[in-house]
Amino acid sequence: MPKTLPLAKQIKELQEKLAWYEERELELREREARLQMAVDAIKFGTWDYHPLTGELSWSDECKKIYGFTGDTEINMKVFSEHIYPADYDFVNNEIQKAMDPAGEGNYDIAYRITRFDNAGVRWIRAKGKVYFNEKKQAERFIGTVTDITDTKTAEEKNAKLAAIVDSSDDAIVSKTLEGIITSWNQSAERTFGYTAEEMIGQSILKIIPPDRHHEEVEILSKLRRGERMEHFETRRMKKNGEQLDVSLTISPMRDSQNNIIGLSKIARDITEKKQEEVRKNDFIAMVSHELKTPLTSLRSYIQVLLVKAGDDEEPFKINALKRADIQTKKMAAMIQDFLNLAKLEEGKISLNKTRFDLDELIKEITDDAQYFTSAHTIKTETHPGVIIEADRDKIGQVLMNLVSNAIKYSPRGGEIIVGFEQKDNNVEIYVIDNGVGINPVDQKNLFKRFYRVKNEEIRTISGFGIGLYLVAEIMRYHNSEIKVKSEEGVGSRFSFQLPII
Ligand code: ADP
């Protein structure tokens, strides 16, 4: 007789088995829920295709990616119609390849779709796996899709930027805030002779001449504060030790939280331009020098004639000689400006400081200037006894340039005031006119070399745009600064400060 378990025991065993299955089912459900959560979180759409029956189903997220809202049934035909035409053959091929029983059944491609809701073309990435039955038929093909348009667009943007950087004629380099090079374009390779492999990871000091290493410290601290540097002219060193004149533009690079994460630097080789400038300066200096000699002799003849002209001389002749004297003086001043410009550009200017009475200098200059014009009145607001230490000739030139401009850019009958006032331990020297005035934009550029204001009113007034540049440079050599306050149609006030002894 077969031994049977007592009924109670059989029931107990069955109950235990049931409990075990229930537990497993619970575990499975939990696992499935967790998986679903993960799929939802990373915005994966899932799809399930049964090649033997032709059935295709999409998850809600998958429908969202495709912009599918309709009630129409999803099938392979509808799916195919929404593959971007240019990508259709590629996608079809990849599906066929995955379903080939000779292969592994893997599928992983990126392609474009045209969304159902006409919201344009999107890039998606589809990944999947084909399962084969015993007859080696593709029975089930399941997988995921994600919208990768943003990544693709960013990739395309990066590729475009990289192409621009690489085709640039300027050397473009990026570095960390510590000065370690992180990128080095092709033009940097050509300009400095080092390859990207040689430079990435190295310190930027490698291309900075040793006597300019301090510059890098200043550049880094400026950029760390978030400032930008534009057209900073300096010298850099090539691999073969040769030095180059470069113009640098350096800007901070920021992450999405606006933190500065590094610096980008554009270097333009301006060696040619610099050499051209040197040639031009040499030429200006030479021409000015050659003009000076005959002019000096012309001036002495005029002055001798003026002295010799007695009271019985025709007033017209005396007047003509005076005018000739004024014009030759003006010409001499212009030539002197050119010579000073050339000296300045070559860095050959030096100060010869002495102590002198400011009142006396101002009187000399205003007397000279008044000689040039009878159509303007030049007044002084000075008093004796203010002693300053500066290069008397150069401060004289500054004042002469300012007063000549005040005359040039004021209408006939205008009044010009030259004076000074004490400000703590300094004296502020000013030249005021009630002439045409200067607009705020031009005020910012006035002191640049060769800068001239372009407006109808002063179109006929001749000049070279170097007077104020020289003024600014001479003041810079004196550790001071030329300032301007001006209003169009009202007049201008140019001023600078020097310390009182
Ligand atoms: P230049 O007088 O030879 O043109 P400057 O360098 O002396 O060169 O002056 C630059 C420009 O600044 C002038 O072209 C003129 O437009 C403007 N400027 C200078 N001084 C005055 C002034 N006192 N009033 C109005 N404009 C002035």
pLDDT tens for the 501 residues of the chain, in order: 556 668 888 888 889 999 999 999 988 888 888 877 776 766 789 999 999 999 999 998 999 999 988 777 889 998 999 999 999 999 999 999 999 999 999 999 999 999 988 888 999 999 999 999 999 999 999 999 999 999 999 998 989 988 888 889 999 999 998 899 999 999 999 999 999 999 999 999 999 999 999 988 888 888 888 888 989 999 999 999 999 999 999 999 998 888 888 999 999 999 999 888 888 888 888 888 899 889 999 999 999 998 888 767 788 888 899 889 989 988 998 898 888 888 887 777 889 999 999 999 999 999 999 988 889 999 999 999 999 999 999 999 999 999 999 999 999 999 999 999 999 899 999 999 999 999 999 999 999 988 999 888 888 888 889 999 999 999 999 999 999 999 999 999 999 999 998
- CATH fold match for the domains 37-153 and 168-269: yes
The answer to whether 388 and 379 are in contact (CB under 8 A) is no
Residue 73 per-residue DSSP state: P
Determine if ligand 1 sits within 6 Å of the CB of residue 432.
Answer: no
H-helix or E-strand containing 150?
helix 149-167
Provide the 3-class DSSP secondary structure of residue 257: coil
Distance (Å) from CA 405 to ligand 1 centroid: 6
In a mutational test of the pocket of ligand 1, which residue from 341, 446, 447, 458 has the highest number of ligand atoms less than 8 Å from its CB?
446
Determine if ligand 1 sits within 6 Å of the CB of residue 458.
Answer: yes
H-helix or E-strand containing 485?
strand 483-487
Determine if ligand 1 sits within 6 Å of the CB of residue 414.
Answer: no
At the topology level of CATH, where does 274-345 sit? Helix Hairpins (1.10.287)
The answer to whether 414 and 433 are in contact (CB under 8 A) is yes
The residues, any chain, with a CB within 8 Å of residue 460's CB and separated by 6 or more, are none
The answer to whether 463 and 337 are in contact (CB under 8 A) is no
Distance (Å) from CA 402 to ligand 1 centroid: 9
Q: Identify the burial level of 140 via C-beta atoms within 10 angstroms of its C-beta, where 0-12 means exposed, 13-18 middle and 19 or more buried.
A: middle
In a mutational test of the pocket of ligand 1, which residue from 405, 439, 455 has the highest number of ligand atoms less than 8 Å from its CB?
405
Determine if ligand 1 sits within 6 Å of the CB of residue 447.
Answer: no
What are the tokens at 357? 């009475």
- Which protein residue has the closest C-alpha to ligand 1 atom 14? 452
At the topology level of CATH, where does 353-499 sit? Heat Shock Protein 90 (3.30.565)
Determine if ligand 1 sits within 6 Å of the CB of residue 334.
Answer: no
**Alpha carbon distance 428, 423 (integer Å):** 7
- Which protein residue has the closest C-alpha to ligand 1 atom 20? 405
Determine if ligand 1 sits within 6 Å of the CB of residue 196.
Answer: no
CATH no. for 168-269: 3.30.450.20
User: HSE-up of 393 (CA within 13 Å, CB side)?
Assistant: 9
Give me the torsion for CA of 467, 472, 475, 480, rounded to 10°.
Answer: 150
Provide the 3-class DSSP secondary structure of residue 139: strand
Question: Which numbered atom of ligand 1 lies nearest the CA of 447?
Answer: 6
Determine if ligand 1 sits within 6 Å of the CB of residue 492.
Answer: yes
Question: Which numbered atom of ligand 1 lies nearest the CA of 463?
Answer: 3
At the topology level of CATH, where does 37-153 sit? Beta-Lactamase (3.30.450)
First to last CA, the chain: 134
In a mutational test of the pocket of ligand 1, which residue from 468, 492, 493 has the highest number of ligand atoms less than 8 Å from its CB?
468
User: HSE-up of 180 (CA within 13 Å, CB side)?
Assistant: 6
**Alpha carbon distance 129, 107 (integer Å):** 6
Distance (Å) from CA 369 to ligand 1 centroid: 16
Sequence spans of domains, the chain: 37-153, 168-269, 274-345, 353-499
Distance (Å) from CA 463 to ligand 1 centroid: 8
Provide the 3-class DSSP secondary structure of residue 280: helix
